[in-house]
Amino acid sequence: LSAHCRPPIVAPARTALAAAAAALAAGRLVGLPTETVYGLAGAAGDALAVARIFAAKGRPAFNPLIVHVPDLPAAGRLGQLTDAARALAEAFWPGPLTLVVPRRADSGLADLVSAGLDTIALRVPAHPVARALLRTAGLPIAAPSANPSGRLSPTRAADVAGAFDAAQLSLVLDGGPCPIGVESAIVGFAGERPVLLRQGGIAEEELEAVCGPLGRPGDDRVQAPGMLLSHYAPAARLRLDAAAAEPGEALLAFGPTVPACAGPVRNLSPAGDPVEAAANLFRMLRELDALADRIAVMPVPRAGLGAAINDRLARAAAPR
Ligand code: TXA
Ligand code: MG
């Protein structure tokens, strides 16, 4: 694609928010910053808009979308939240948490949003630009991560504008780099007990402190259909848990002690902080992907956000 048919990147001034809201109302898509990653946003009640999201991403029709709402009462109008779901929502919304709950029959959402399931994924984002657009547009917003299906998630406006053309995407609201950098944690409430469907921007330990032990996908009938083994994939091949880079490899490092490397190096967190590492993960993978065919990745501890980082790295390294 040539640069002139890319969607424009716009500062989130009042006029740009109004333009974005008008685009959503007209069934068109906009690039939306959230605290986790950028979303490919469309009106969740508009079947055509939702179909455009699936088409633009090349997303399989069995993989449902997350619906973004301004607050807990708005979520309660779309889905049935149990007391345990409500407790998590009150503790972590607005923030990087998605709840999968039974969908209300009168939700007004397009059927395609939940890909034929009787549940709906709901999230109240914390990013001020996402909140401003939800307020201005006044409708629930369906937004998967704004990357072609299976590829690295976007954490900067330019990542989004570079992946779509202006016919697919009206504009990208520029909210700066996403502060958390990995997608929301997803907890499913459709079965007997809550299940952690996706590790994400809130650590499992923090979630369990509020709602008790979380089951694993497969413990119950609930699954996140999008949790495919190969996902978040750069073009380069990844080698995980590497002590050092071999000749021809770039190095994705973690922590204060970085082995010598002849190729390009990025350090997720020189201080060894998993929060900083999560914020840098997708950007640094993109940068090294542009510079090398093979990337050695140093081990990242699994505590806190380290679990989500390891999940993304394992899927990025998976055979495809
Ligand atoms: O942080 C995030 O959650 C970002 C930002 C943009 O909000 N969004 C995001 O969306 O990561 P996406 O589409 O890339 O991932 C949504 C995940 C998929 O794995 C999908 O299968 C799962 O949520 N999901 C959605 N609806 C579901 C449902 N009803 N039941 C089970 N899983 C569901
Ligand atoms: Mg995604």
Residue 20's domain is classified under what CATH number?
Answer: 3.90.870.10
Report yes or no on 230 lying in a domain. Answer: no
Q: Are residues 205 and 244 in the same domain?
A: no
Mean pLDDT of 100-118: 96
Cα of 64 from ligand 1 centre, angstroms:
7
Predicted confidence (pLDDT) per residue in 196-240, tens digit: 999 999 999 999 999 999 998 876 555 777 777 778 889 999 999
Ligand 1 closest atom vs CA 153: 14
Between the alpha carbon of residue 76 and those of residues 73, 107, 116, the distances in Å are 5, 10, 20
Q: Are residues 162 and 308 in the same domain?
A: no
Query: Nearest 5 degrees, angle CA 172-CA 177-CA 179?
Result: 125
Q: Are residues 68 and 112 in the same domain?
A: yes
Mean pLDDT of 39-50: 98
What are the residues whose beta carbons fall under 8 Å from the beta carbon of 97, sequence distance 6 or more?
88, 89, 123, 184, 185, 186, 187, 200, 201, 202, 207
Ligand 1 closest atom vs CA 147: 14
The per-residue pLDDT for 3 is 54
Mean pLDDT of 295-302: 98
36 lines ligand 1 (CB under 6 A): yes
The per-residue pLDDT for 24 is 98
Domain residues for the domain of 17 are 3-211
The per-residue pLDDT for 222 is 56
Split into its structural domains, the chain has a count of 2
Predicted confidence (pLDDT) per residue in 48-76, tens digit: 999 999 999 999 999 999 999 999 999 99
- Distance between CA 309 and CA 285 in Å, rounded? 12
What are the residues whose beta carbons fall under 8 Å from the beta carbon of 218, sequence distance 6 or more?
none
Q: Is the pLDDT of residue 138 over 80?
A: yes
226 lines ligand 1 (CB under 6 A): yes
Report yes or no on 18 lying in a domain. Answer: yes
Cα of 121 from ligand 1 centre, angstroms:
7
Predicted confidence (pLDDT) per residue in 148-191, tens digit: 999 999 999 999 999 999 999 999 999 999 999 999 999 999 87
Residue 273: pLDDT band with limits 50, 70, 90:
very high
Q: Are residues 91 and 145 in the same domain?
A: yes
* Among 211, 246, 269, residue at a domain's last position: 211
Report yes or no on 223 lying in a domain. Answer: no
Pocket test for ligand 1, best of 35, 38, 66 (most atoms within 8 A of CB): 66
181 lines ligand 1 (CB under 6 A): no
34 lines ligand 1 (CB under 6 A): yes
Q: Are residues 11 and 159 in the same domain?
A: yes
Q: Is the pLDDT of residue 284 over 80?
A: yes
Q: Are residues 35 and 181 in the same domain?
A: yes
- Distance between CA 316 and CA 222 in Å, rounded? 23
Nearest CA to ligand 1 atom 10: 144
The per-residue pLDDT for 175 is 98
225 lines ligand 1 (CB under 6 A): yes
Cα of 302 from ligand 1 centre, angstroms:
22
Select the more confidently predicted residue: 276 or 233: 276
- The secondary structure of the chain, three-state, reads CCHHHCCCEECCCHHHHHHHHHHHHCCCCEEECCCCCCEEEEECCCHHHHHHHHHHHCCCCCCCCEEECCCHHHHHHHECCCHHHHHHHHHHCCCCEEEEEEECCCCCCCHHHHCCCCEEEEECCCCHHHHHHHHHHCCCEECCECCCCCECCCCCHHHHHCCCCCCCCCEEECCCCCCCCCCCEEEECCCCCCEEEECCCCCHHHHHHHHCCCECCCCCCCCCCCCCCCCCECCCEEECCCCCCCCCEEEEECCCCCCCCCCCEEECCCCCCHHHHHHHHHHHHHHHHHHCCEEEECCCCCCCCHHHHHHHHHHHHCCC
Is the full-model pTM beyond 0.90?
Answer: yes
Between the alpha carbon of residue 210 and those of residues 190, 194, 214, 215, 219, the distances in Å are 18, 12, 10, 14, 20
Cα of 239 from ligand 2 centre, angstroms:
22
Residue 2: pLDDT band with limits 50, 70, 90:
low
- The CATH number covering residue 264 comes to 3.40.50.11030
Q: Are residues 141 and 255 in the same domain?
A: no
Q: Are residues 49 and 145 in the same domain?
A: yes
Q: Are residues 28 and 113 in the same domain?
A: yes
Pocket test for ligand 1, best of 29, 30, 65, 114 (most atoms within 8 A of CB): 65
95 lines ligand 1 (CB under 6 A): no
Q: Minimal CA–CA distance to 279: which of 257, 312, 250, 234?
A: 312
The per-residue pLDDT for 192 is 81
